[in-house]
Amino acid sequence: MLVTDIDSRRGDRPAGSPCRPSARSGRPNGGPEPRATGSWTPLAGEALLDRLRFTGRPRSPADPARADGLRRCLEQGLGLVLGPALQVDRAPLVITKGRLNQATAGAGDQCGAGFGERPFTVAIACGALIDALFRQLVTIGSIGDPMADGLAALAIDDRQAPLVAWIDRLPGAQHRLLADEVRRQASNLAARWPALHPGWLPRTEESMRVGLVGGAVELSARVDLAVGRPGLEVASVAIVEVKSGMRRPEHRHDLHFYALVEALRNPAPPFVVATYYTRTGELDVEPVDDELLASAARRTLAGAGALVRCPDQTTSTSPAAVGGDETCTGLHCGRPVGPTAQDDEPASAGRAA
């Protein structure tokens, strides 16, 4: 069941929320105008939080048998679809949401050309900036100058250096377009996104990595926000993905993949996964149940099969540095798949003069 707040007709927006309808054209993210028109208003504050917390479904109990069953199903399936390609002594085949999306969206067409680093666009830049600003809002509760804050956050992440340099080189008109959109979305975000109680343990950019088949395959994800304490007797974690662009079908698949990985690493799956669209204020909420997890597992298997049929796509990770990340070097690369323990070793290890 997909619940979207677009269906909500509640007029519970707090006073002062600047959810203005926009008549601007030439939007960096393309697509039609946001649906913040008519009687519908985006959820904000407590109402948004309630939509996330109360799904109308019972929360799954923690059940190790569920995770074991999912793992068994995946490992058996991987054995079938990967066959001889499964080699535990090689670097693992890393499966991310992006790889799955590309692999399942007609991998045959993309094997030769579509994989690899995507060229930067204003939309991608907007997404990165909004991600950083969302993280800032969750962490300190406010956003200053959106462009300045967003760029500053990206600038201290050396993995984002090429994007920051690209933004710096943008021609004036495009730079203004980007800045206007970032400011608009940041303003709406700050007005609508609720403060999260520290006791809910909000965690931004949380990394999830699950090894399968003796480490030959690794499911890897990084979620924008995880809320709730894992490891309780009932599902208590909510996962939220933030999107600055328009709604796409693969966003639901992304959420399902997150739910699957979380269900494999903790005794209980998340009780809900959601996508928050900063462009419109829409919140797509999906309660997690066994059917959703099974569906995600089937899609993962299909994607893994498509991945190994693509030449050179099994190359997955390469250690970047003693103090660095593992970087995705195969398809949908350009973004590290997650930091490792090495990041916690600022003192130079290895050879030192």
Partner 1 sequence: MAAPAEVITAALLAPATAEVSVETRLAVRDRLLAAAPGLVERLPPGEQVVLTIALLRQLGRATPGPVRTDEPFAWKPAFVRRSLGLAAVEACLAHRFRAPAEAVGPVAAQAVAEWERSGWRTFHWEPWLATLGGGARSAVLAEATTWASTLWTSLDWGQFRDPPRLGGPDDQWVCAASRTVRLKGRSEVRAFLPARPGRSRAGPLATAMVSMAGGTPRPGCEVGLGYLALVAALRSPSRPAPARVIGIWPDAGQHRVVDVTDRLLMDAGELVLTGVAAVVDSTTGPSVDPAVSFGA
Tell the burial category of 339 from Cβ atoms under 10 Å away from its Cβ (0-12, 13-18, 19+): middle
- Binding pattern for the stretch 226-245 against partner 1, x by CB under 8 A and - elsewhere: ---xxx--------------
- Binding pattern for the stretch 150-189 against partner 1, x by CB under 8 A and - elsewhere: xxxx-xxxx-------------------------------
Binding flag, residue 215, partner 1 (CB under 8 A): yes
Q: What DSSP state is assigned to residue 207?
A: E
Q: Cβ of residue 167: shortest distance to partner 1, in angstroms?
A: 14
Q: Which of 246, 323, 334, 335 binds partner 1 (CB under 8 A)?
A: 323
Selection from 172, 137, 135 nearest residue 157 by Cα: 135
Binding flag, residue 206, partner 1 (CB under 8 A): yes
Q: What are phi and psi of 41, to 5 degrees?
A: -130, 145
- Binding pattern for the stretch 265-304 against partner 1, x by CB under 8 A and - elsewhere: xxx-------------------------------------
Binding flag, residue 344, partner 1 (CB under 8 A): yes
Binding flag, residue 205, partner 1 (CB under 8 A): yes
Binding flag, residue 112, partner 1 (CB under 8 A): no
Q: Which of 52, 100, 125, 138 binds partner 1 (CB under 8 A)?
A: 138
- Residue number with CB closer to partner 1 (40 or 271): 271
Do 54 and 199 form a contact (C-beta atoms < 8 A)?
A: no
- Residue number with CB closer to partner 1 (80 or 321): 321
Listed in sequence order, the DSSP H helices in 120-171 are: 122-140, 146-155, 161-168
Q: Cβ of residue 292: shortest distance to partner 1, in angstroms?
A: 18
CA angle 10, 15, 20 (to 5 degrees): 75
Q: Which stretch binds partner 1 (CB under 8 A): 26-34, 85-93, 103-111, 240-248?
A: 85-93
Q: Provide the pairing of β-strand 336-338 with 317-319.
A: unpaired
Calpha distance 160→168 (Å, rounded): 12
Question: What are the tokens at 245?
Answer: 């662009």
Binding flag, residue 128, partner 1 (CB under 8 A): no
How many residues in the shown chain lie near partner 1 by CB under 8 A? 76
Q: Which of residues 2-61 bind partner 1 (CB under 8 A)?
A: none
Selection from 92, 126, 159 nearest residue 246 by Cα: 126
The dihedral region occupied by 200, where left means phi > 0, alpha psi between -120 and 50, and beta the remainder, is: alpha
